[in-house]
């Protein structure tokens, strides 16, 4: 049994065999770059999730280090993710922080088991329409949840569901504090307009191009956060800050602590656990696939990646951390900064730790409106909004699945959206496959008239499965009293399931009661094996199955041809 489990073998063990000083220098620079980028995002994701800001940073440090050290990707960066904001907020509001930590640990165990059982490849079978639908839905919910701090509204606690949030925001829209949207909008503009390294001509010479290239090395999110913090502190702007709402963040990591656990709580957390595990698996493996396209390094191992994600989510909650997964924005930053091994991800975690140890008191002055502005940009970048404009070019099933998943994610939750999306995808797939199966009549003009008058021949195309059996069941009713034989040419029949076998057995029984006979010709290997094992071959008899239609025709011509006197 255990030899079928996936071997635990982190990618870092392979990449470090020929590790050089030049590669270390590149990873060191990339790691510090991503660490600086990760700080404002970790703070923003935690606050938006309804937990303390330091919990996001602790997650980025601990989970980020473990995912890079133990994962199956060369350059993926792990930590708190924007996609989890809505999920964490809903679980924390409904079940409390302690149960959120327990659900994260249980989800980590589920992820670890999925990787060990080699189920990582199954995530790739989720249709892209479902992924786009729930990603855009989550982006809408993230953006909506940030309007409170972006506008400076004095709302004690935002509800978790979409319509309740709209109702609360509509009740307080007259309470907008002018400085909050001003600072938030300035942060949005800085993040959007700040020079990007990937959009530059590196060969251009001159002072301005060199200055832009130098400026692009500084992340726009960090510039926006630093400028907003300095303005709030120096100008004494009347804004909510991390210090005024949370009392700042501690210097150093928290101590190990066991969450309160009870079996009754674990039983209630089945759906939250599955939700965290499912979203974590999808996000991490999608992120790893994006990283594979951006680098020439060896492709990721999905099962090892899930095992690393599982271990990280098991360990992090014991230090107060929240769910973690692979993060696309930080992974792309890591690749573009020159990373070539998991060392960059480990350096990113150590960089965050150094920042916490040295500069934690400064975080108390960060305005929440600035973090809300940064998250609005994150939400916008998360969504594939152009897909809505392109929907008219796709089929009705694709549009239905994408829009259905999107609406259900916004109105209900991710789990319901993915479940319904998968059901719709299966239904449309079954319908599509059933339309590909065809039963077409064949004309045999070159044989004796006696054969064509007494026999009716049909050719089967495609796969005969439970969704297409109706096309076979009605064949008995199309035979006239003058027809003694129904011949099915199965040369183009690719496969057949047990429902298809049952349909043929019912057809044979019906024809036998009517005094008619069923003949099968040209069976391929899989249908022939199933017919033999299912007993239909025995019921048809020796003269009920022929290797080819021509063999049956030859046998009939021998019967109908008069013998010479």
Q: How far is CA 261 from CA 96, 383, 518, 536, in A?
A: 12, 37, 65, 57
**For residues 434 and 467, is the Cβ–Cβ distance under 8 A?**
yes
Q: What is the mean pLDDT of residues 418-442?
A: 89
pLDDT score, position 442: 85
In terms of Cβ atoms closer than 10 Å to its own Cβ (0-12, 13-18, 19+), residue 558 is: exposed
pLDDT score, position 230: 94
Please report, for the chain, the start and end positions of each structural domain, with discontinuous segments joined by +.
20-152+239-384, 393-435, 438-560
Residue 431 confidence (pLDDT) above 70: yes
Q: Which residue has the higher pLDDT, 483 or 399?
A: 399
Determine the Cα–Cα distance for residues 199 and 196; give it in Å rounded to an integer.
Answer: 5
pLDDT score, position 530: 94
Q: Which residue has the higher pLDDT, 395 or 448?
A: 395
Q: How far is CA 485 from CA 321, 461, 519, 544, 546, in A?
A: 72, 20, 7, 10, 14
Residue 451 confidence (pLDDT) above 90: no
Q: What angle (nearest 5°) sits at the alpha carbon of residue 372, between those of residues 132 and 284? A: 35
Determine the Cα–Cα distance for residues 61 and 69; give it in Å rounded to an integer.
Answer: 12
Nearest to 392 by CA among 406, 403, 377: 403
Q: What is the mean pLDDT of residues 467-481?
A: 85
SS3 538: helix
Q: Which residue has the tokens 């009392």?
A: 247
In terms of Cβ atoms closer than 10 Å to its own Cβ (0-12, 13-18, 19+), residue 469 is: buried
Q: What is the pLDDT of residues 507-529, one digit of tens each?
A: 999 999 988 999 999 999 999 99
| Least confidently predicted of 97-111, 320-334, 442-456, 494-508 | 442-456
| Least confidently predicted of 119-128, 227-236, 331-340, 406-415 | 119-128
CATH dotted code for 438-560? 3.30.750.24
pLDDT score, position 460: 94
Q: What is the mean pLDDT of residues 426-434?
A: 88
Residue 558 confidence (pLDDT) above 80: no
Q: What is the pLDDT of residues 226-266, one digit of tens each?
A: 999 999 999 999 999 999 998 888 888 888 888 776 677 77
Q: What is the pLDDT of residues 286-302, one digit of tens each?
A: 888 888 888 888 889 99
Q: What is the pLDDT of residues 323-366, one digit of tens each?
A: 999 998 889 888 888 888 999 999 999 999 999 998 888 888 99
Mean pLDDT of the chain: 88
> For 105-151, what is the HEC assignment?
HHHHHHHHHHHHCCCHHHHHHCCHHHHHHHHHHHHHHHHHHCHHHHH
3-state helix, strand, coil in the chain (%, to 5): 65, 5, 25
Nearest to 490 by CA among 451, 455, 453, 519: 519
pLDDT score, position 69: 94
Determine the Cα–Cα distance for residues 383 and 137; give it in Å rounded to an integer.
Answer: 8
Nearest to 134 by CA among 326, 394, 414, 375: 414
pLDDT score, position 155: 87
Q: Which residue has the tokens 């942060």?
A: 187
φ/ψ of residue 340, rounded to 5: -140, 15
Residues 253-274: b if buried by 16+ CB within 10 A, e if exposed:
beeeeebeeeeebeeebeebbb
In the structure, what pLDDT confidence band is assigned to residue 159 with cuts at 50, 70 and 90? confident
Q: Which helix (H) or strand (E) holds 100?
A: helix 97-116
Tokens of 104: 């994260």
Q: What is the mean pLDDT of residues 165-175?
A: 89
Determine the Cα–Cα distance for residues 516 and 496; give it in Å rounded to an integer.
Answer: 24
In the structure, what pLDDT confidence band is assigned to residue 453 with cuts at 50, 70 and 90? confident
Q: Which residue has the higher pLDDT, 454 or 396?
A: 396
Q: What is the mean pLDDT of residues 214-221?
A: 79
pLDDT score, position 201: 63
Residues in CB range of 79: below 8 A, 6 or more apart: 38, 41, 42, 59, 60, 63, 64, 67, 324, 327, 330
pLDDT score, position 202: 62
Tokens of 499: 């429902």
Q: What angle (nearest 5°) sits at the alpha carbon of residue 491, between those of residues 486 and 492? A: 105
Nearest to 221 by CA among 251, 186, 177, 182: 186
Residue 2 confidence (pLDDT) above 50: no
Percent of the chain residues past pLDDT 90, beyond the cut: 49
pLDDT score, position 1: 41
Q: What is the mean pLDDT of residues 406-426?
A: 87
Q: What is the pLDDT of residues 13-58, one digit of tens each?
A: 887 677 888 888 889 989 998 998 899 999 999 999 999 999 999 9
pLDDT score, position 120: 86
- Listed in order, strand segments (DSSP E) in 309-387 are 325-326
DSSP, res 522: S
Q: How far is CA 60 from CA 46, 110, 228, 542, in A?
A: 10, 21, 23, 70
In the structure, what pLDDT confidence band is assigned to residue 450 with cuts at 50, 70 and 90? low
In the structure, what pLDDT confidence band is assigned to residue 203 with cuts at 50, 70 and 90? low
End-to-end Cα, the chain, rounded Å = 72
């Amino acid at each position: 049994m255990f030899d079928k489990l996936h071997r635990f073998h982190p990618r870092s063990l392979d990449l470090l065999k020929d590790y050089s000083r030049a590669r270390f220098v590149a990873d060191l620079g990339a790691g510090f770059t991503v660490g600086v980028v990760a700080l404002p995002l970790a703070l923003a994701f935690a606050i938006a999730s309804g937990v303390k800001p330091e919990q996001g940073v602790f997650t980025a440090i601990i989970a980020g280090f473990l995912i890079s050290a133990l994962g199956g990707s060369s350059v993926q960066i792990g930590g708190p993710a924007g996609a989890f904001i809505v999920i964490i907020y809903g679980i924390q509001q409904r079940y409390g922080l302690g149960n959120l930590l327990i659900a994260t640990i249980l989800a980590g165990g589920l992820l670890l088991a999925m990787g060990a059982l080699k189920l990582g490849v199954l995530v790739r079978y989720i249709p892209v329409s479902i992924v786009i639908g729930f990603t855009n839905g989550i982006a809408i919910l993230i953006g909506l949840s940030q309007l409170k701090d972006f506008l400076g509204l004095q709302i004690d606690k935002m509800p978790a569901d979409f319509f309740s949030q709209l109702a609360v925001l509509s009740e307080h829209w007259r309470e907008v504090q002018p400085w909050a949207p001003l600072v938030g909008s300035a942060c949005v503009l800085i993040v959007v307009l700040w020079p990007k390294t990937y959009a530059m001509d590196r060969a251009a010479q001159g002072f301005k191009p060199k200055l832009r290239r130098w400026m692009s090395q500084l992340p726009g999110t960090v510039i926006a956060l630093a400028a907003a913090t300095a303005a709030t502190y120096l100008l004494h702007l009347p804004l909510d800050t991390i210090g005024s709402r949370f009392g700042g963040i501690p210097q150093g990591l928290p101590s190990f602590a066991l969450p309160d656990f009870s079996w009754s709580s674990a039983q209630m957390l089945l759906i939250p656990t599955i939700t965290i595990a499912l979203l974590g698996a999808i996000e991490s493996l999608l992120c790893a696939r994006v990283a594979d396209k951006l680098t020439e390094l060896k492709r990721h191992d999905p099962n090892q990646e899930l095992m690393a994600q599982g271990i990280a989510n098991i360990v992090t909650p014991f230090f107060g951390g929240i769910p973690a997964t692979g993060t696309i924005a930080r992974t792309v930053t890591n690749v573009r900064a020159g990373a070539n091994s998991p060392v960059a991800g480990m350096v990113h975690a150590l960089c965050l730790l150094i920042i916490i140890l040295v500069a934690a008191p400064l975080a108390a002055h960060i305005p929440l409106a600035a973090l809300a502005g940064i998250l609005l940009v994150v939400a916008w970048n998360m969504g594939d909004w152009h897909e809505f404009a392109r929907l008219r070019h796709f089929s009705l099933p694709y549009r239905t699945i994408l829009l259905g998943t999107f609406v259900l994610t916004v109105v209900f939750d991710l789990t319901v959206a993915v479940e319904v999306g998968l059901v719709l995808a299966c239904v449309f797939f079954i319908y599509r496959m059933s339309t590909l199966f065809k039963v077409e009549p064949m004309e045999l003009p070159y044989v004796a008239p006696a054969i064509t008058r007494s026999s009716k021949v049909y050719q089967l195309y495609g796969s005969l499965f439970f969704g297409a059996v109706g096309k076979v069941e009605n064949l008995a009713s199309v035979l006239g009293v003058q027809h003694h034989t129904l011949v099915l040419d199965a040369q183009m029949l690719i496969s057949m399931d047990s429902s298809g076998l049952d349909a043929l057995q019912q057809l044979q029984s019906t024809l036998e009661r009517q005094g008619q006979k069923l003949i099968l010709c040209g069976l391929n290997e899989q249908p022939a094996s199933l017919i033999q094992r299912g007993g239909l071959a025995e019921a048809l008899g020796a003269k009920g199955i022929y290797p080819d239609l021509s063999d049956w025709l030859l046998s009939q011509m021998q019967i109908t041809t008069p013998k010479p006197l």
